[in-house]
Amino acid sequence: MATPDPQSLVTTPGRGQVVLGIGDQLTVDGSAGQLEHVYRLADPALSELALEPLLNELLTRAKDILRVDTAAILLLDDDAQELVARAAKGLEEEVERGVRIPVGSGFAGRIAAGRRPIYIADVDHADVLNPILRMKGVRSLLGVPLLVEGAILGVLHVGTVTPREFTNSDAALLQLAAAQAAPAIDRARLFDALDREHRNAVALQRSLLPERLPDLVGIDAAVRYLPARDEVGGDWYDVIDLPGGLVGLAIGDVAGHGLRAAALMGQLRTGLRAYALEGHPPGETLKRLDRMLQTISGRGMATAAYAVVDPVTGTLHYASAGHPPPVLVRGGGREASLLDVSSAPPLGTLPFAAYREVEATLQAGDTILLYTDGLIERRREPLTNGLERLRALAAVPATADQLCQLVTERLVPAEGGEDDIAVVALRIAPIEAAMRVRLAADPQVLSQMRRMLGRWLQAQGARPSEVADITLACGEACANAIEHAYGPGAAYFELETVHEEGLVTVTVRDTGRWRSPRGGHRGRGLKMIAAAVDELDLHTTDAGTEVVIRHRLGPR
């Protein structure tokens, strides 16, 4: 350790503080020990470390080499113009965070303001703001600025509990440590900022997609959205509960990445949903969406597809604006094919584009799968390979959710793709001799319930008048179950249908008590059930109410 050189110690700002290195370069002496110290602090291997281990290692080495009791790094909070404790070794270790020192005040604040090393011989006779330094009995301090391209990032300082005279040589060694730390901190801050922007954009993208799918009766729907590995994309999907028991399925992909693409995606999803809810068929919906996109200033381009499915008849109407063709899975998963869609330009590319519709029919148990190109695209490979890979993969017996899971698991790398990916699958629920569904206790489900029950009854061979009678009776029982649902939160009731050798049994179970008829329409409802079907049983227990309707099919 070199002896102090009183000539180079120049007193300046702050009581009891000495600014080092004014007027001459800080240098280390050429002794073997010093060179060893220099090497340890300038060690190129350090630059390979991530920020946290790098700061820890540097502080440990600096503390060791300078034979001090504590070493700490404070970083500049630019907005607040304050220094914030970031990392420490030794006495201050447990107080790494929380201490804030205004730039220009106290020991660290003056180092930051003057961008010069400062030495304090005796804390008791100096301006030291950090209460922890006093509390821990630190007597002497040496600090240097953390600089990158002349900009101040923070302060690195060391301290001893016994009085110590720090030298220019000590300051030079500490500056070496600072020179290692500063660029790493700068880089990390940049990454932090980028990472924050990325996370914000991903959160925005998520918020623009539907939070949950509508409760659809007779329909099994599932979706997946996988963000891109590095960037925010503009893919979207939507499942829309349309008037008249129809279901709309939408998917789209805005060209480009980042916040702009995500924001445009949000506008297009909303636009498509609005046109769809007005009842426009797929081709017209895309046409209107295209015209809407043409009016948005700084507009972009997007591919999109929209399908309207009637869960009762299985009729599917589909139109595409430059979007890859959907996969139809039929025959219980025995076959999968690509729907032959007519080619049309993406949205926002040609004035007065038209989007032709194609029609197909789905049987009960069939599935339509929509997706964005991220699912099928591979670098250096023709798109047809990806399409064929997906088609072959989809030919399996699966629910909508299982199919979404399968294709994303098998076609997307675990760490995410280069492009974001959206997948929507809709399966017409298969019809069996027995059916059991849980329905939201909401009057809005009644229409869907009637369609689903009608489809089931038809499949059981019920004649139109029988379908009407059983549907009316079941509708009254369901309406009653819905009226039972009080209180906050989602409530549900259960509908079970069984067909055994011509006898149809419909059971509606809820967790409320049957309201005894009071002469109003509820009493009328019970009478209507009794008039419409062969048998009506009502069981009320503490657990809830069960209405059992029995009706024999066939001429009487």
Partner 1 sequence: MTPYADVHFEIIGRVVVARLEGEIDMSNAGEVGAAITGRVTSDAVAVVLDLGAVEYLDSAGIHVVFELRERLSRRGQELRLVVPSGSPVATALHYAAVPRTVGAAETVKAAIADVED
Structure tokens at 131: 């209460």
Comparing CA positions, the residue from 276, 270, 300, 282 lying closest to residue 209 is: 270
Shortest spacing between CB 521 and partner 1, in angstroms: 3
Query: Does residue number 527 form part of the binding site for partner 1 (CB under 8 A)?
Result: yes
Shortest spacing between CB 486 and partner 1, in angstroms: 15
Buried-state track 249-266, b at ≥16 Cβ within 10 A, e below 16: bbbbbbbbbeeebbbbbb
Structure tokens at 173: 């060694």
**Phi-psi label, residue 10: left if phi above 0, alpha if psi -120 to 50, beta otherwise:** beta
Buried-state track 356-380, b at ≥16 Cβ within 10 A, e below 16: ebbebebebbbbbbbbbbbbbbeee
User: What's the CA gap between 449 and 522, in Å, rounded?
Assistant: 19
Contact 74, 154 (CB under 8 A): yes
Shortest spacing between CB 241 and partner 1, in angstroms: 9
Residue with Cβ nearer partner 1 (15 or 527): 527
User: What's the CA gap between 457 and 461, in Å, rounded?
Assistant: 6
Of 229, 524, 539, 552, the one binding partner 1 (CB under 8 A) is 524
Residue with Cβ nearer partner 1 (82 or 241): 241
Residue with Cβ nearer partner 1 (315 or 405): 315
Residue with Cβ nearer partner 1 (146 or 457): 457
Burial environment of residue 491 by CB neighbours within 10 A (0 to 12, 13 to 18, 19 or more):
middle
Shortest spacing between CB 520 and partner 1, in angstroms: 7
Shortest spacing between CB 481 and partner 1, in angstroms: 11
Binding piece for partner 1, criterion CB under 8 A, among 1-9, 208-216, 520-528, 538-546: 520-528
Query: Does residue number 522 form part of the binding site for partner 1 (CB under 8 A)?
Result: yes
User: How would you classify the pairing of strands 545-552 and 503-510?
Assistant: antiparallel
Number of residues forming the site for partner 1 (CB under 8 A): 26
Residue with Cβ nearer partner 1 (378 or 527): 527
User: What's the CA gap between 545 and 538, in Å, rounded?
Assistant: 7
Residue with Cβ nearer partner 1 (156 or 526): 526
Does the CA dihedral 253-333-214-455 come out positive or negative? positive
Residue with Cβ nearer partner 1 (422 or 449): 449
User: How would you classify the pairing of strands 492-500 and 503-510?
Assistant: antiparallel
**For the window 241-280, what string marks contact with partner 1 as x by the rule CB under 8 A?**
--xx------------------------------------
Of 51, 528, 544, 550, the one binding partner 1 (CB under 8 A) is 528
Comparing CA positions, the residue from 268, 383, 282 lying closest to residue 324 is: 383
Residue with Cβ nearer partner 1 (215 or 366): 215
Contact 471, 507 (CB under 8 A): no
Contact positions with partner 1 (CB under 8 A) in 470-499? 471-472, 475-476, 479, 482-483
**For the window 423-452, what string marks contact with partner 1 as x by the rule CB under 8 A?**
--------------------xx-xx--x--
Contact 546, 508 (CB under 8 A): yes
Residue with Cβ nearer partner 1 (266 or 475): 475
Binding piece for partner 1, criterion CB under 8 A, among 7-15, 375-383, 514-522, 548-556: 514-522
Residue with Cβ nearer partner 1 (41 or 482): 482
Helices 464-484 and 445-459 sit at what angle, rounded to 10 degrees? Answer: 140
Helices 464-484 and 521-532 sit at what angle, rounded to 10 degrees? Answer: 150
Query: Does residue number 71 form part of the binding site for partner 1 (CB under 8 A)?
Result: no
Residue with Cβ nearer partner 1 (97 or 521): 521
Of 178, 525, 545, 553, the one binding partner 1 (CB under 8 A) is 525
Contact positions with partner 1 (CB under 8 A) in 205-244? 243-244
**Phi-psi label, residue 519: left if phi above 0, alpha if psi -120 to 50, beta otherwise:** left
Q: How far is CA 541 from the centre of its chain?
A: 44
Of 134, 521, 539, 552, the one binding partner 1 (CB under 8 A) is 521
Of 469, 470, 493, 497, the one binding partner 1 (CB under 8 A) is 469
Shortest spacing between CB 495 and partner 1, in angstroms: 15
**For the window 17-36, what string marks contact with partner 1 as x by the rule CB under 8 A?**
--------------------
Q: Which residues bind partner 1 (CB under 8 A)?
A: 243-244, 443-444, 446-447, 450, 465, 468-469, 471-472, 475-476, 479, 482-483, 520-522, 524-525, 527-528, 531-532
